[in-house]
Structure 1
Amino acid sequence: MGRKNQFRRRRKKGLEVAARRRRRWRRWRRALAAGVLVAGVTALGVWAHSQWPRWRQQWLAGERLFPLKEIQITTPLRAVTREQILLRSGLRAGQNLLAIDLARVRRALEEIPYAAEVSVERVLPHVVRIGIIERRPVARVRLYSRFGEESLEARICYLDGEGMVMPGGMEGRPGDDPFADEPLPEVVGVDPTEVTLGQMTGDLRLRWALRLIEVYRQLRLDEQAGLRTIDLTETGVLHVALDNGVRATLGPDELPRQLLRLFYLQEVGRANGRRLLQVDLSIPNNCPSLWTPAEPSAPSAGFPKGVLKLPLARDV
Structure 2
Amino acid sequence: MAWRNSAPRRKITVRCLNMWIKRKPKNRRLERGNVLDVKLRAKEIRAARLRLATTAVGLSLGTVMGLYLLWRVGDWALDEFVFNNDAFAIRELDIQTDGSIPVEQLRKWAGVRPGDNLLALDLNRVKDDLELAPMIQSVAVERVLPRTLKISVIEREPIARMKMLQLQPGGGLELVSYYLDKSGHVIQPLPACVDTISLNGDALPVLSGGNAAEFLPGSAIHSPKVSAALRLIAEFENSPMAGLVDLKSVDVSGTEVLQVTTGQGSRITIALDRLEDQLRHWRLVYDLGKNMGKAIGTLDLSVTNNAPAIWLEAAPAPPLAPKPNSASPNRNKHV
Question: 178, 195, 200: which is aligned to 1:157?
Answer: 178
1:247 aligned to 2:267?
A: yes
1:78 aligns with 2:82: no
Give 1:1-316 correspondences, 5 Å limit. 45-62=67-84, 64-73=86-95, 75-147=96-168, 151-168=172-189, 179-181=199-201, 183-295=203-315
Moved more, 105-114 or 93-102: 105-114
RMSD of Structure 2 on Structure 1 (CA):
3.1
Task: Provide the identity percentage.
Answer: 30
- 8 Å contact kept, 1:156–1:169: no
Aligned partners of 2:240 and 2:283 also within 8 Å: no
Contact persistence 2:186–2:219 (CA under 8 A): yes
Q: CA 1:148–1:158 in 2, change beyond 3 Å: closer, same or farther? A: closer
Q: Which moved more, 1:54-63 or 1:93-102?
A: 54-63
Where relative contact order (Cα < 8 A, 6+ residues apart) is larger, the structure is 2
One-letter amino acid of the counterpart of residue 57, structure 1: D
Secondary structure in structure 2 of the residue aligned to 1:287: coil
Normalising by structure 1, what TM-score?
A: 0.71
Corresponding residue for residue 302 of structure 1: none
In structure 1, the gaps of 5 or more residues are 1-37, 299-316
Question: CA 1:291/1:148 → structure 2, altered by over 3 Å: closer, same or farther?
Answer: farther
CA distance in 1, matches of 2:243, 2:193: 26
Provide, for residues 6-61 of structure 1, a one-character-per-residue CA deviation record: whole Å limited to 9, x for no partner: xxxxxxxxxxxxxxxxxxxxxxxxxxxxxxxx998975543231244444334422
**Which of the two has higher C-alpha Rg?**
2
Structure 1 CA distance for aligned equivalents of residues 194 and 94 of structure 2: 25
In the alignment, the residues of structure 1 paired with residue 300 and residue 171 of structure 2 have an alpha-carbon distance, to the nearest angstrom, of 37
CA distance in 1, matches of 2:216, 2:313: 45
Write the distance in 2 (CA, Å) between the matches of 1:122 and 1:105.
Answer: 12
TM-score (norm 2): 0.68
TM superposition shift of 1:92? 0.7
Is the partner of 2:203 in helix, strand or coil? Answer: coil
Q: Cα gap change, 1:130/1:273 in structure 2, threshold over 3 Å: closer, same or farther?
A: same
Shift in Å, 1:270: 1.6
Change (3 A) 1:106 1:255: same
Tell me how far apart the structure 2 counterparts of residues 270 and 151 of structure 1 sit (CA, whole Å): 48
The offset of 1:207, in angstroms, is 0.6
Instruction: Flag structure 2 segments of 5+ consecutive residues without an equivalent.
Output: 1-59, 318-335
